[in-house]
Structure 1
Amino acid sequence: MSLTQNVHRLERAVSLATGATAIVAGVCQGGTSGVLKALGGAALLQRGLSGHCVIKGLISDPKSELECLRERVAELRAALPRLQKEMDSLKGRQENRLDHAVEETFPASDPISP
């Protein structure tokens, strides 16, 4: 079951505009309140882009919305092992690059200067 669009065209446009404005204002403001403002803006931006609002869904059809959320959590859980494997691989490549850079920067044949 996929998330249905429950936010209509005008609501989406308002969410996109308000979200983008809040993100910019939060970043410019800085601090804890700025971060909170930017996060709220990101939520509004996501609402406008996806056309779905979880809160609106919980109010209008809570059973269906909870089922969709459960399915989404199950999908994310299933993806975790793959993501962990990718992260481990990335970490290994970064460590190899760092080792190579250290070897290139400090060759063993160069004497240590006093």
Structure 2
Amino acid sequence: MEQQKLPNSTLILVFGILSILTCCCYGVLGLIFAIIALVMAKKATALYVEAPEQYTGFNNVKTGRILAIIGLILNLIYLGYVIWLFATLGMEGIMEMNQDIMEQYGGKLFLLP
């Protein structure tokens, strides 16, 4: 019997990577990618466990799941930090802090030599 690729194995890997890359988007966008990747990985793992000889690409599922877990943790930490900032400083305090940073660096985000 010919082996077939696990459904969504590449997509799980991509969503796991995106969950880490988007962790600085207030922690929300990366959370969505991480949760979707974990749900899809659970379904793909269940399918693979039923008939492992029929499917390939399980390494992508395992790697994507690990990356999604890391992304989930990073996003939860960052979301907690953002909530803490809003709770302690408020919107005005955050805007003032951003203004101070912009004045300190002369409006430049990247300092080139």
TM-score range, shorter chain: 0.3 to 0.5
More helix by share: 1
| Greater RCO, 1 or 2 (C-alpha within 8 Å, sep 6+) | 2
TM-score normalised to structure 1 length: 0.34
